[in-house]
Every structure is written in structure tokens, then in C-alpha cells.
Amino acid sequence: MSLAATCPAVGSFYLSRSPRGTPRFKMAVRSGALSVAPILTNLQKDCATPLPVLRHVADAMEADMLAGLAVDGGSDLKMILSYVDSLPSGNEKGLFYALDLGGTNFRVLRVQLGGKEERVIATEFEQVSIPQDLMFGTSEKLFDFIASGLAEFALKEGGKFHLPPGRLREIGFTFSFPVKQTSIDSGILIKWTKGFAVSGTAGRDVVACLNEAMKRQGVNMRVSALVNDAVGTLAGARYWDNDIMVAVILGTGTNACYVERLDAIPKLQGQISSNGKTIINTEWGAFSTGLPLTVYDREMDDASINPGEQIFEKTISGMYLGEIVRRVLLKMAKDGDLFGSSFPEKLATPFVLSTPDICAMQQDNSSDLQAVGSILYDVAGVEANLRARKIVVEVCDTIVKRGGRLAGAGIVGILQKMEEDSKGLIFGKRTVVAMDGGLYENYPQYRGYLQDAVTELLGSDISKNVVIEHSKDGSGIGAALLAAANSKYEHDF
């Protein structure tokens, strides 16, 4: 069976990297290798997430949220105001665009909204992967790429999509990096994450960057909402279900947002919205308290382009899980006898093992773990025997279990905080957590571990009312809905 046939579709939740090409069979031969058993035992011990550890993480998440709401810079969690104070009602009408920049792909989307009766009349989208050099290039180059993609897409508009005469096309811009919002349609990039290192954007208003690029590319459109992907997911999911209170992204990176009462945000000092609520973007990827970390995590962090930052993200998200596993396997191959007396040098290349690879290995139910063998051969150029394949699967499971369970503890931390503020708001009724991102969508074991942790922490009674639900591509539609809500034109909804 070919490798392609054995790998599930795993989506785009990893950092794309140089093609693997044909496996190289460069092996160093060593003698005196030790058994890998103690390495595995230590890893499992260091990654363990029994209930007390989960509880500690959930409580720390709650405490960090409170500290971040009290004052800017009060904790690792930035608790950013989204300036979204009215969520979609279903009455939105008209043609709106969404732009989505946040991971390995860039997406453009248009939607024709038909109000309560017709809802979403039509949608169309296009997706392109972001060339690696743009992730490390200049701000102008990246935003020009986005603006020209948007221009091409807008030219193909037709069919069910109609713009009333005399109006500009309006865009919801989903920009999935930490941004200090200054209004619903402006915000300053705090820093890049997820392997992006574009020069000239941090400290600037990203909507201004996009506007300038649109001008250069001759695009006459208006950004009416700047939205984080978690916020877009919450808005998009809420369009269909009023019980959505929290949204979580688990993809290349990770984040969560939730509906907060304005009077529970001390740092706001008197700003008010019409209904007294807003969405807070937690930027929980930066959380770091009480996490069970290993030497492999620390080494990966040290070698990263943002050492000491985004520690929760580096422990639970799609960009990093495969890389952590690679580091463990490298240790087992170097110091132990994982692959007998040979040491596959290819395994020493950072990010050569991706999260979709470890996901595919974990789906292998064959008795000889054939797919595991093929992937190891392809990635590391190594012929692994059955014993080695089994160990590799155990390592993947250990890292994925820790990631999924910690993500679950994070969710419980948010729910706890909301319940603490308004008794009965969360635990007394059906509450929905909208989930999106390729890691959550495509990794069944990860999803299972996350749900287990939520159930363990909340107990079976309360957790029956807490629905953790995949909200596919909600963030694109959500951004378009927020563009509709913030349209500069008079709306008839």
C-alpha cells in the first residue's frame, strides 16, 4: 500500500518546510547503545497529566485571566478587547468578503447573506499556501501578496453575489496573531507567532498595512472589521447557536476567546457597549503556569525564533507536536538502541517530522504497523523493526495525550472563570465551546484526550451540559458577519 493511501487527510496544521525528497540513507553506526526503555519511562513521567496537574493548570488559567483583565501586562494572558460587542443575530444581509491570514494558508472568502429567512445564500472561497520566503520577508511583500490574492478573487465575483450600486466591497480581516485592537477596524501587531518573522509589521496597524497594499495593487475595498480567528469562530458559530460562549483554535497555533461582561474588566475603566458584553481574546498560547514540561520542550523552545514565549502553544499546538516527538526519537536513536546500532542522520533535521506524520502513525491499526514503518522510512530514511515502531507510536501518544489534556484543562479554566463571575451562567445550562483548527479537526486521539480531561475535571453531571463542538470554517463566515455588523452603509437588519 502506498503511503498516501495510509495517511488520513490531516489538513494544514503544520509549518510547511522543505520537501523531504527521496530518503537519504545516511547512517552513522555506533556501538554500546543503551536500552530506550528508561528514556520512554522518563518521558511518560514528565508528561503525565493526572487530575491534580490538570486542576492546577485550570486554576492557573483562571487566575491568569483575572490578572490579565485587571491591568494590561498583568499576566501572560493579554486578555485583549476585541471591540466586538454585538454578536451576529441572523438578520445580516448583503455581500461581504473575508480575508484570513493566520497559519500556513491564506484564504479569501465571499458570502451573500440573506437575513433570518435565507441565512447564508452562497459562499465561495479560495485558499493558497503562503510561500516560506514571505514568512521571513518584509511586511510590504506579505501584504502585497494578500492584496493581490484578494484582487484576483474579487474579479471572479458573479452568480449569486450582488453588491448594491455605489457601494464599496467590505471585508472582515481575520488576522490570527496577537494584535492590540484599537477599534473594531484597527489594531497594532504585538508580535508574530507560529514561525512568522516578517520585518516591519510589529508595532504597526495591520489594517493600515493592508490598506496600503490594496492601494498599491489597485484594490478598492474597505476593511470594516479586524478579527482574530478565535473571535471569528465564536461569531460564526453564534450565528447558528446562541449557547456558544467560548471558541478555541487548535491548529498550527492555538488561542481561545469567550464572552465577557464589561463590568468584569477592571482595565477597561468605564468604556461601555450597548449590551454590556464583549468578546475577550485571551491569547492563551502565551500561558505558561504549571505546565508539565520536559527537556525536549525546553530545548525546542531555546532553538525557536521566540524563546520563552508561547509556551502553552509550543506544548499543545500543531506546529510543535511532531517536532517534540522528533526530538525524543533523536535522543532514543542517539543515546539508545531505537534503530539498533544505526543512527539516521536525517532525524536530526528540525521539523522533519510533522504533526500530520505523527497523526498518520497513530491511525495505523495494522499488526505490523506498516504505515508507521513507511513514514519512518520516508522521514528518517530508517528501516524500523516492529519493536521500534511500537515505541515510536508510544512516544507520539505520550506527547499528543499531554497536549490534548492540557488543552482540555485550559477550556475548563475559562469555563470556571465565567461561572465564578456569574453563577449558573455556565454550569447550570447547556454551554457550547466552538472548536476549530486542523489539529482538532483531524486528530481523533487528540480530540478524545481533550474531551476526557474536560469530563474528568468537571465531573460527569456538569460535563453533560458542556458541549465541545467542531465549528468548521466558522472564522471566515464569522469575520464576514462582523464586517456586516460594522458596515459603514445603513443596514436594513
How far is 202 from 195, CA to CA, in rounded Å? 14
Minimum distance from residue 301 beta carbon to ligand BGC (Å):
14
Q: Looking at residues 398 to 457 of the shown chain, list those that interact with ligand BGC (rule: CB under 6 A).
A: none
Among residues 313, 323, 357, 441, the one that binds ligand BGC under rule CB under 6 A: 313
In whole angstroms, the minimum distance from the beta carbon of 89 to ligand BGC comes to 24
Interaction of residue 283 with ligand BGC, rule CB under 6 A: yes
Cβ distance 416 to 372 under 8 Å? no
Q: Which of 396, 270, 271, 374 is nearest to 323 (CA)?
A: 396
Helices (H), 161-292: 206-216, 229-238
| Of the candidate residues 82, 176, 288, 463, the single one contacting ligand BGC (CB under 6 A) | 176
CB of 447 to ligand BGC, least distance (A): 17
Q: For cell 525564533, what's the residue?
A: 305
Active site residue 229: yes
In the chain the first and final C-alpha atoms are separated, in Å, by 55
Query: Is residue 174 a contact point for ligand BGC (CB under 6 A)?
Result: no
From 78, 194, 346, 417, active-site residue: 194
Active-site residue (options: 185, 229, 337, 473): 229
Residue type, 236: G
User: Is 13 or 339 the residue whose CB approaches ligand BGC more closely?
Assistant: 13
Q: Give the contacts of 109 (CB within 8 A, at least 6 positions apart).
A: 97, 98, 99, 100, 123, 124, 125, 126, 476, 477, 480
SS3 assignment for 11-45? CCCCCCCCCCCCCCCCEEECCCCECCHHHHHHHHH
What's at 13, amino acid-wise?
F
- Contact range with ligand BGC by CB under 6 A, out of 113-121, 159-167, 175-183, 329-337: 175-183
Q: How far is the CB of 251 from ligand BGC (least distance, A)?
A: 6
CB 282 within 8 A of CB 470: no
232 binds ligand BGC (CB under 6 A): no
- Rounded CA gap, 77 and 79, in Å? 6
**Contact criterion met (CB below 8 Å) for 10 and 318:** no
Pick from 62, 100, 170, 229 the residue near ligand BGC by CB under 6 A: 229
Catalytic residue status for 194: yes
Choose between 35 and 129: whose C-beta lies nearer to ligand BGC: 129
Angle at 366 between CA 360 and CA 369, to 5 degrees: 65
CB of residue 256 vs ligand BGC: minimum separation in angstroms?
Answer: 8
Exactly one of 94, 102, 381, 476 binds ligand BGC (CB under 6 A); that residue is 102
336 binds ligand BGC (CB under 6 A): no
Cell of 154: 474579487
CB of 442 to ligand BGC, least distance (A): 15
Least gap, CB of 317 to ligand BGC (angstroms)? 7
Which residues in the 13-32 window bind ligand BGC by CB under 6 A? none
Q: Which is nearer to ligand BGC, 228 or 362 (CB)?
A: 228
Residue 85 binding ligand BGC, by CB under 6 A: no
Q: Which amino acid is present at 301?
A: D
Number of residues that bind ligand BGC (CB under 6 A): 17
Site for ligand BGC in 235-274 (CB under 6 A): 249, 251, 253-255
How distant, in Å, are the alpha carbons of 94, 303, 358, 387, 473 from that of 23? 52, 25, 18, 21, 35
Residues 68, 88, 94, 178: which binds ligand BGC (CB under 6 A)?
A: 178
Nearest to 415 by CA among 437, 436, 430: 430
Among 13, 177, 296, 427, binds ligand BGC (CB under 6 A): 177
How far is 482 from 485, CA to CA, in rounded Å?
5
Q: Tell me if 196 contacts ligand BGC by CB under 6 A.
A: no
User: Which of 228, 233, 294, 471: binder of ligand BGC (CB under 6 A)?
Assistant: 228
What residue number has its CB nearest to ligand BGC?
Answer: 253
Q: Is 143 in the site for ligand BGC (CB under 6 A)?
A: no
137 to each of 105, 134, 196, 201, 204, how far by Cα in Å? 16, 5, 9, 11, 16
Strand order in 466-470's β-sheet? 80-81, 277-281, 254-261, 244-250, 431-436, 466-470
Comparing CB distances to ligand BGC, the nearer of 3 and 190 is 190
Task: Decide if residue 193 touches ligand BGC (CB under 6 A).
Answer: yes
Q: Residue 361 is placed in which grid cell?
A: 502513525
DSSP 8-state code for residue 254: E
Kindly state whether residue 314 participates in binding ligand BGC, applying the rule CB under 6 A: no
Alpha-carbon gap, residue 358 to 355, rounded angstroms: 5
230, 264, 300, 483: which one binds ligand BGC (CB under 6 A): 230
- Kindly list the catalytic residues: 194, 229
Q: Which residues bind ligand BGC (CB under 6 A)?
A: 102, 176-178, 193-194, 228-230, 249, 251, 253-255, 283, 285, 313
